[in-house]
Structure 1
Amino acid sequence: MIILFIVGLGLVFSGIGAWMWKKPPRRINRLAGYRSPRSMKSQAAWDFAQVYSGRLMCISGLVMMLVVTPLFWFSGYNFDTLNPALIVLLPLFPVLAATIIPIYFTERKLKSLFDNEGNPKK
């Protein structure tokens, strides 16, 4: 069950990431896309953040499916004997990592490429 959950979330992350990477939201909005205060400062920052974070999300979803899932699968541990609370909490760690890591690197890249007003640095 844990393995199916991680594979499913990996597919969701990869799918949304691929969508943002290949067909990012064109205009700054509050409904869809990578929405952080830094990415919404200018259209140039917005456009960059959509593609960059989409690529990172796609990669993090693939890592969840191709690296984390085999770790659970081949660990040899019988997950059916786990406490139900652990069954919920155990897959939470890869999901949090797959969420936080793209945000961290996108914000870091935005900070290095754009000033505080959202203008590209020279």
Structure 2
Amino acid sequence: MDSVIYVLTTNGLLFLLSIIFWKFPPKKINRIYGYRTFKAMLNEEIWVFANTTFNKNFLIYAGISFLAALILATISVQELTWQPMILVMLSLLVSVIKTERALSDNFTEEGKRLK
């Protein structure tokens, strides 16, 4: 498989999903669509905050991942194998960690706002 096509189907798809999540965030707490962790689903205020924070981080890091993978695909002399997938995993991991940290900084374990 061509490296650029591989990047488009992995990192490009991730970036497209991040745009969809950013443009169409979930309206209500649900178990199907949105950033769903126990803490994020405690109440509506936390739900909106968590989804807004995650979607922003996800858009940024998926975009960085996509650009980095495209650059890697164009300068690589060998066909890419696992490198774009590592960038996908890092994008998701960093987005989740930053969202959970923001939730801990702004809300108690019971769901009350700190600041």
TM-score, normalised on structure 1? 0.81
Q: Which runs of structure 2 are paired with 1:86-97 in the superposition (5 Å)?
A: 87=81, 89-97=82-90
Give, in angstroms, the shift of residue 67 of structure 1. 2.0
Query: Which of these two proteins has the greater Rg computed from alpha carbons?
Result: 1
Q: Counterpart in 2 of 1:78?
A: 78
Give, in angstroms, the shift of residue 105 of structure 1. 0.4
Unpaired runs of at least 5, structure 1 = 80-85
Q: Deviations over 1:37-96 (max 9, x none)?
A: 111111111001111111111112211222222023213x222xxxxxx82x33321111
Does structure 1 conserve the Cα–Cα contact (< 8 Å) formed by 2:11 and 2:69?
no
**100, 105, 109: which one pairs with 1:112?**
105
Mapped to 2, the partners of 1:2 and 1:60 lie a distance apart of 20
Unpaired runs of at least 5, structure 2 = none
TM-score, normalised on structure 2? 0.85
Q: Counterpart in 2 of 1:11?
A: 12
Amino acid at match of 1:78: Q
Report sequence identity in percent: 25
CA RMSD after TM alignment: 1.8
Mapped to 2, the partners of 1:116 and 1:102 lie a distance apart of 20
Counting matched residue pairs gives 114
